[in-house]
Amino acid sequence: MGDNELPDASALRFLVGSALKTARTTARVTQLDAAKQIGFTSGKLSYMESGVTAQNPDHVAQLMRHYKAPAEDVEWVVSLAVRADHGVLSTRNDDVWPHWFKLFVGLEKLAERLFDYNNSFLPGQLQTLGYATAVLEDSLHIPARDVSQAARARIDRQRLTGTDKPLHLVAVIEESILDRIIGSPAVMIEQLEHLLELMPLPNVDLFVIPTSAGFHDGLGSSFIQLNFAEARGIAYVEYHTGASYLQERTDVDLYTLIAERLIDKALSSEDTASLIRSRIAKIKSMEQK
């Protein structure tokens, strides 16, 4: 996110609401009792916890203190609520995203670290414009007229370079992704060469799980973990008709463990780079025949 770009208020409200609900359930306070503390109905508090409605920073502070949350937790949750008051409710390319994906776009902007496991195609933060366009051309979620704008929007979201606070990306992909020609051989060569250019960056860790590794925990579905400087992490799992934003500590801890196990299954950075170079050479040799 650029230095002069306001954060997405909906994403900030989501984080505030998640923190409020976690603190309340940890304190074993009912929604009705909590609502009475700030003169709300339980229904209105439910909207507040889901991030649907604006969250007054004074109400947030009052609730967190009622839950006897640690002082540092009160401070960062209130600070997020204050930032939400000054944020914006949409992003520049809001109209091209499926409605359930718009929240992810906002959260991605706020994330300090992102773990991305993908078993189908390269993570968005690593894609070239040509590769992104080819992926989105066959998407059921993006109308053909919006493909160009959506592909450019995906590139605009990338935060690995060109910023004072780059995103720390840890990506684990399947070897089969390197063998799947997306777009054309030329597009794929450009994409794989782009990966090699990004890998030396201190904020980029890319690992490939070889097909020979056999069964592992990630084969069920791809997922993303978002970690924030001022909020607890979230696991994001996408499916054809929407996405799940998992916030419960047990869920997040499970995905953290899966991420660690996937990295253990993967090749080292050096072997991953060698594998990518071999695929580039293979595609070029096929082109010359």
Indicate whether 35 and 104 sit together in one domain: no
| Range(s) of the domain holding residue 42 | 9-85
Tell me the per-residue pLDDT of 191-213, one tens digit each, with 9 for 90 and over.
Answer: 999 999 999 999 999 999 999 99
Indicate whether 275 and 237 sit together in one domain: yes
Overall number of domains in the chain? 2
Per-residue confidence (pLDDT) for residue 229, from 0 to 100:
84
Domain boundary residue among 25, 54, 85?
Answer: 85
Residue 65 neighbours by CB under 8 Å, 6+ apart: 74
Indicate whether 59 and 123 sit together in one domain: no
Indicate whether 116 and 193 sit together in one domain: yes
Output 245-250 pairs: Cβ under 8 A, ≥24 positions apart: 245/14, 245/103, 245/104, 245/107, 247/18, 247/21, 247/22, 249/22
Q: Specify the pairing of strand 168-174 against strand 113-118.
A: parallel
What is residue 162's three-state secondary structure? coil
Which sign does the torsion angle of CA 103, 109, 114, 117 carry?
A: positive
In a domain, 4, yes or no: no
Indicate whether 103 and 213 sit together in one domain: yes
pTM beyond cutoff 0.85: no
Neighbours of 180 (CB within 10 A): 11
In a domain, 2, yes or no: no
Query: What CATH number corresponds to the domain at position 71?
Result: 1.10.260.40
Indicate whether 212 and 102 sit together in one domain: yes
Residues with pLDDT less than 70, the chain: 1-7, 86-96, 289
Per-residue confidence (pLDDT) for residue 44, from 0 to 100:
93
Distance (Å, rounded) from C-alpha 289 to C-alpha 282?
11
Number of H helices and E strands in the chain, helices first, is 12, 6
Phi, psi of 112 (to 5 degrees): -95, -35
Indicate whether 130 and 65 sit together in one domain: no
In a domain, 152, yes or no: yes
**C-alpha 229 chain-centroid distance:** 14
In a domain, 210, yes or no: yes
In angstroms, the Cα distances linking 69 to 8, 15, 77, 201, 219 are 26, 16, 10, 38, 38
Sequence-ordered alpha helix ranges (H) in 111-245? 129-137, 147-156, 175-179, 185-198
Query: What CATH number corresponds to the domain at position 111?
Result: 3.30.870
Distance (Å, rounded) from C-alpha 46 to C-alpha 62?
16
Q: SS3 string of 210-229?
A: CHHHCCCHHHHCCEEEEECC
In angstroms, the Cα distances linking 12 to 7, 119, 220, 228, 230 are 8, 29, 30, 11, 10
Indicate whether 135 and 77 sit together in one domain: no
